[in-house]
Amino acid sequence: MKWFGEGDAQTVAVKDASFEAYFGEMLYIVGPSGSGKTTLLSMISGILRPNRGTVTIDGQDLWHQSDNAIAEFRLNRIGFVFQDYHLFPRLTTAENVAIPLILQKTDWNQAIAEARRYLEIVGLLDRADLAPVKLSGGEQQRVAIARAIVSQPEILIFDEPTASLDGTTGRRIVSFVKEQVLNDKRCIVIVTHDSRIYEYADRIMNMEDGRITGLMRGTE
């Protein structure tokens, strides 16, 4: 449960959101704007502390750990792909992908080499030395995916991954994630409004007014 403010000014963003996500699955969280999806993402990714309740990862309550342990979780065990990519314009594509490794204090040359390897995985090795502004929207999204997976996190969170893409490019990106990024040691959680990509979900969870109101198989 998460609320903001006090007294008459209090707003409850997440009221009742009990669910489980599993390794090897792609779980969608859908619902109208203001339903609490982003707040829920922030709590399960170690960014925003819940006022009540627990976030359990591998049997451990994330928010009962030390600040250092939570920071380490965010750095090493979770990857985030933002709606607007959050690529640094002054860095090359490879340098953008290498950022998580640099934060983990990996040697610079090794980090760049690993970044280039992951750019090859997403089909963008030939763009490694370019600035992000020279890439298309779909290419920038793939760079963001490479950056999110370069440190091999167990949990990947995508916030509206197709919002800035046309339908064909969006489906191609999500299909790539399903086929090449998801594995039995990784869980992928996607927040989306885009019904065109529902076919790729293993499960779809609906949120309204801070509550989970439904859960169905992706093909239903």
- The candidate with the shortest Cα–Cα distance to 142, out of 108, 90, 181, 110, is 181
Write the DSSP string, 10-31. -EEEESB------TT-EEEEE-
Instruction: Tell whether the torsion through CA atoms of 163, 167, 170 and 174 is positive or negative.
Output: positive
Q: Are 169 and 161 in contact (CB under 8 A)?
A: no
Amino acid at 112: I
The model's pTM is: 0.88
Note the pLDDT tens digit of each residue in 3-36: 999 888 899 999 978 889 999 999 999 998 889 9
Pseudo-torsion of CA 110, 113, 114, 119, nearest 10°?
Answer: 160
26-41 burial code (b ≥16 CB/10 A, e <16): bbbbbbeeebbbbbbb
Domain 1-51+64-77+154-220: give its CATH architecture.
Answer: 3-Layer(aba) Sandwich (3.40)
Q: Give the span between the Cα atoms of 62 and 147, in whole angstroms.
A: 23
- The candidate with the shortest Cα–Cα distance to 74, out of 107, 50, 41, is 41
Q: Are 135 and 143 in contact (CB under 8 A)?
A: yes
DSSP state of 163: T
Report the 10 Å Cβ neighbour count for 66.
8
Q: Are 205 and 27 in contact (CB under 8 A)?
A: yes
- Residue 191's pLDDT is 93
DSSP state of 96: H
Q: Give the span between the Cα atoms of 13 and 203, in whole angstroms.
A: 23
Residue extents of the structural domains in the chain: 1-51+64-77+154-220, 87-152
Q: Give the span between the Cα atoms of 220 and 218, in whole angstroms.
A: 6
Segments of the chain scoring below 50 in pLDDT = 220
